[in-house]
Amino acid sequence: MKYNVFLTQENQGNFHAMVPNLPNCHAYAPTRQGALKTIHESMTQVINRSEIIQLDISTQPKRNETPWQWFGAFSDDPTWGALFDEIERKRNEPIFYI
């Protein structure tokens, strides 16, 4: 099986290798080749002592209920309309990219 390895040269010149699909699988070495060798050994150890299983969870996740009691709570606020006018004005402004 093939795994992606992120290999980064650190500021001090050392190399850091990590495998996104294998939690806590990192290696540090002063050379690129050393980091690749160390991460290969680390990957082998992690894979040899691990297994992937699937668990069936019978409960439903908690739903976020919409707090309907709060809608309209500020309808008498005299600044409410100005706030939405400002939001609409900002939304319609042209966007300049540098």
Tens-digit pLDDT profile for residues 38-67 = 999 999 998 999 888 998 888 776 666 666
Query: Residue 26 domain-assigned?
Result: yes
37, part of any domain: yes
d(CA 57, CA 13) in angstroms, rounded, equals 46
Q: DSSP for the chain? A: -----EEEE-TTS-EEEE-TTSTT-EEEESSHHHHHHHHHHHHHHHHHT---------SPPPP----GGGTTTTTT-TTHHHHHHHHHHHHHS-----
When pLDDT is cut at 50, 70 and 90, the band that residue 6 belongs to is very high
In a domain, 86, yes or no: no
Q: Is the pTM of this model over 0.85?
A: no
How many domains does the chain contain in total? 1
Domain for residue 76, yes or no?
no
Q: Is the pLDDT of residue 70 over 80?
A: no
Q: Which domain holds residue 44?
A: 6-48
> Is residue 93 situated within a structural domain?
no
Asked if the structure places residue 25 within a domain, the reply is yes
Residue 71 lies in a domain: no
